Chain A
Amino acid sequence: MATLVMTRLDPQSRAARRGWSDLTIRNAFIIPTIVFLIVFNIFPLLYSLYYSFTDFRASTNAPANWVGLANYRELLNDPFIWANFAITAKYVIVSVAGQVIVGFGVAMLLNRSIPFKGFITTLLLLPMMLSMAVVGLFWKLLYDPSFGIINYALGLGRFEWLSNPDMALYAVAITDIWMWSPFVMLLSLAGLSAVPKHLYEAAAIDRAGPFYTFFRITLPLVAPILMIAIIFRTMEAFKTFDLAFILTSQPSAEVISIRLYKMAFQEWQTGMSSALAYIMLIMVVAITNIYVKYLNKVKER
């Protein structure tokens, strides 16, 4: 582990003379975690990198044959995979936009003197803490065309949500918006409460209108934190599996994770699915990179 090679600590300190040295402690504290993550995250990925160049099928005992880049070529030329990516993109846009609008809107409302503000905020945060799969399942009952409370409350009669190819993806997105708007709200509230009050007072003295105040003061100051929320939710929405998998089996709502799951664990195309997993992986690592940059930026403030 070359990079963990010692940077010098004071060898004259008492701690260095008695008991474990700082160097030993540091390595004993950090290396197990790194090794654990390499063994259980990186090594499996190397394993599947190999399989992504083969025609291996985990359901048979047939040995894996090296096929080179054929899996990748086939995937990237497959219009159905591109359709899955397009569905995922649509899902990401709808659900993240919905979460930002609802979450930021509610945060703006809560950023006033509201009675029981703390309690209400915690209540509103409840959905995001719950299990997506288990709560998602219950939304099946809420969406039910004949006795669901959503159709009843909105007066939609027997409107089909989850079994309707045009609506299924939006229904999943609505549930996702319900679950994760609170997350955007939580981060927005932190951003809003950090805006110095004197800026608003100055704007009021200058008779700035509410729109001017919002776009010139509030939004620019909340933007960095809002950006973190947006990138994080984008990444999560891109990876989304639980909700869409539980709620609907419509092909029009088959996001890329579900395609990957089916390819790997229902069709047992292990080699091909490993290649698709790698395509996804590269995209996720790219988004993570951007995310961490923003995290560090906010941290430094």
Chain B
Amino acid sequence: MAAVKTRSEVALNRIAIVSVLIVTIIFLAPIYWIASTAFKPRHLATTIPPTVVFQPETSPFVKLFLRRSQLREQPTPEEYAAAPWWEQLVFDGGEKVVRDGRGNVQFSGYPSRFMNSLIVAVVSTILAVGMGTLTAYGFSRFKVAGEQDWLFFILSTRMLPPVVVAIPMFLMYRWFALNDTHLGLIILYTAFNLSFSVWLMKGFIDEIPREYEEAALVDGYTRMEAFFKIVLPEAATGIAATAVFCFIIAWNEYAFALIMTRRDAQTAPPFIPSQVGSGLPDWTVIAAGTFLFLLPVAIFTFLLRNHLLRGMSFGAIRK
């Protein structure tokens, strides 16, 4: 702003700053509420008026990871004193830790669902970004008859409603015994992310000057060497950004996971809501699970901040 600001402009700017502040607070309130509920004792999670100031505790996370059952009778003081700190926290909540015949602690369903999410998201991301980068290079550097039509075809597979695709996939997976397996979900997520990765990577590779490779070809590199030694390093940022996007999309996906998995390969998104059964749910435990699940995505969002526009517009809008 080079021009001298008039008094009304300054006032207007102040109003804008205050409004932005209010909007930010409103937008972050639900996320804050998840994070704070994850550290509340159970009786403070559902109070009227809502509890904002409280002594944070870790009991929701302890309960999240352990299989628990209702206490029939209070533990004796000796039992209580002999129990480790996390078991005491469970006792305090009126529950006890479930152990198997040998006295080993039983875990809840959460850790395995979290691991399933991680396995499926990581493997499908590697596949989608790997294939996507190659395909993007092919479309970027070589003439392909009907290029626009192929790219449209690739994008349109991405736009299909998940439930529409899930109906025949469910039947096919039943045939090949792929329902409720990691491989089944990995294939679906790879297909889902592949078109996204092709479009995004094409944007990144289009930006790398062809002259770099041409110079390398003149120097005696083969096309493949030029691709691996010149193009890939130049595209590293783009590949990383695309990978993080694909990971987030696979990590967050719900509909396919709901339909295609039951238990063994179930990921966290269908599992977390299934904890809210009938009766009064323990929102602190759900919040703890949600918090851990959202944390990686929140971190990635900040890492990705300069690529968000490009990613969300399939590479069409760059800055």
In the complex, which range does the number of interface residues on chain A fall in? 35 or more
Contact with A along B131-170 (1 / 0, CB 8 A): 1101101110111111011101111110111111111111
Interface members, chain A 88-138 (any B CB < 8 Å): 106, 109-110, 112-115, 118, 120-135, 137-138
In the assembled complex, how far is the CB of residue B77 from the closest CB belonging to chain A, in whole angstroms?
34
Nearest CB in chain A to that of B216: its residue: A15
- Do the beta carbons of B187 and A285 come within 8 Å of each other? no
A125 and B168 in contact, given A14-B217, A25-B138, A112-B13 (Cβ under 8 angstroms): no
- Do the beta carbons of A125 and B161 come within 8 Å of each other? no
- Do the beta carbons of A280 and B161 come within 8 Å of each other? yes
In the assembled complex, how far is the CB of residue A113 from the closest CB belonging to chain B, in whole angstroms?
7
Nearest CB in chain A to that of B21: its residue: A120
Whether, in the assembled complex, B20 has its beta carbon less than 8 Å from a beta carbon of chain A, the answer is: yes
- Do the beta carbons of B223 and A15 come within 8 Å of each other? yes
Whether, in the assembled complex, B49 has its beta carbon less than 8 Å from a beta carbon of chain A, the answer is: yes
In the assembled complex, how far is the CB of residue B60 from the closest CB belonging to chain A, in whole angstroms?
13
Most chain-B CB neighbours within 10 Å: which of A9, A36, A186? A36
In the assembled complex, how far is the CB of residue B142 from the closest CB belonging to chain A, in whole angstroms?
4
Nearest CB in chain B to that of A50: its residue: B168
Which residues of chain A have C-beta atoms less than 8 A from B108's C-beta?
none
In the assembled complex, how far is the CB of residue A19 from the closest CB belonging to chain B, in whole angstroms?
3
In the assembled complex, how far is the CB of residue A17 from the closest CB belonging to chain B, in whole angstroms?
9
Whether, in the assembled complex, A77 has its beta carbon less than 8 Å from a beta carbon of chain B, the answer is: no
- Do the beta carbons of B30 and A114 come within 8 Å of each other? no
Which residues of chain A have C-beta atoms less than 8 A from B28's C-beta?
123, 126
In the assembly, what is the distance between CA of A238 and CA of B13, in Å?
Answer: 38
In the assembled complex, how far is the CB of residue A185 from the closest CB belonging to chain B, in whole angstroms?
10
Nearest CB in chain B to that of A120: its residue: B24
Contact of B297 among A9, A118, A131 (CB under 8 A): A131
- Do the beta carbons of B319 and A190 come within 8 Å of each other? yes
- Do the beta carbons of A29 and B137 come within 8 Å of each other? yes
Which residues of chain A have C-beta atoms less than 8 A from B135's C-beta?
29-30, 32-33
Whether, in the assembled complex, A62 has its beta carbon less than 8 Å from a beta carbon of chain B, the answer is: no
A20 and B224 in contact, given A47-B171, A137-B272, A187-B312 (Cβ under 8 angstroms): yes
Whether, in the assembled complex, A65 has its beta carbon less than 8 Å from a beta carbon of chain B, the answer is: no
- Do the beta carbons of A190 and B156 come within 8 Å of each other? no
- Do the beta carbons of B224 and A19 come within 8 Å of each other? yes
In the assembled complex, how far is the CB of residue B10 from the closest CB belonging to chain A, in whole angstroms?
11
Whether, in the assembled complex, B293 has its beta carbon less than 8 Å from a beta carbon of chain A, the answer is: yes
Nearest CB in chain A to that of B145: its residue: A3
Which residues of chain A have C-beta atoms less than 8 A from B218's C-beta?
14
- Do the beta carbons of A14 and B220 come within 8 Å of each other? yes
In the assembly, what is the distance between CA of A292 and CA of B153, in Å?
Answer: 11
In the assembled complex, how far is the CB of residue B50 from the closest CB belonging to chain A, in whole angstroms?
5
Nearest CB in chain A to that of B227: its residue: A25
Whether, in the assembled complex, B90 has its beta carbon less than 8 Å from a beta carbon of chain A, the answer is: no
In the assembled complex, how far is the CB of residue A251 from the closest CB belonging to chain B, in whole angstroms?
18
- Do the beta carbons of B251 and A30 come within 8 Å of each other? no
Contact with B along A22-48 (1 / 0, CB 8 A): 100111111011101100111011011
Whether, in the assembled complex, A86 has its beta carbon less than 8 Å from a beta carbon of chain B, the answer is: no
- Do the beta carbons of B20 and A120 come within 8 Å of each other? yes
Which residues of chain B have C-beta atoms less than 8 A from A120's C-beta?
20, 24
- Do the beta carbons of A133 and B187 come within 8 Å of each other? no
Contact of A131 among B20, B153, B252 (CB under 8 A): B252
Tell me the B residues contacting A by CB distance below 8 Å: 1, 3, 13, 16-17, 19-20, 23-24, 27-31, 33-34, 37, 46-50, 131-132, 134-135, 137-139, 141-146, 148-150, 152-157, 159-172, 174, 187-188, 190-191, 194-195, 198, 217-218, 220-227, 248, 251-255, 259, 268-270, 272-273, 276, 283, 286-287, 290, 293-294, 297-298, 300-302, 305, 308-309, 312-314, 316-317, 319
14 pairs, A vs B, C-beta closer than 8 Å: A15-B217, A29-B137, A33-B132, A33-B198, A37-B157, A44-B172, A58-B170, A58-B171, A124-B27, A130-B294, A134-B293, A149-B50, A241-B255, A299-B316
Tell me the A residues contacting B by CB distance below 8 Å: 3-5, 7, 9, 13-15, 18-20, 22, 25-30, 32-34, 36-37, 40-42, 44-45, 47-48, 51, 58, 106, 109-110, 112-115, 118, 120-135, 137-142, 144, 146-147, 149, 152, 178, 182-183, 186-187, 190, 201, 225, 228, 235, 239, 241-242, 246, 257, 260-261, 264-265, 270, 273-274, 277, 280-281, 284-285, 287-289, 291-292, 295-296, 298-299
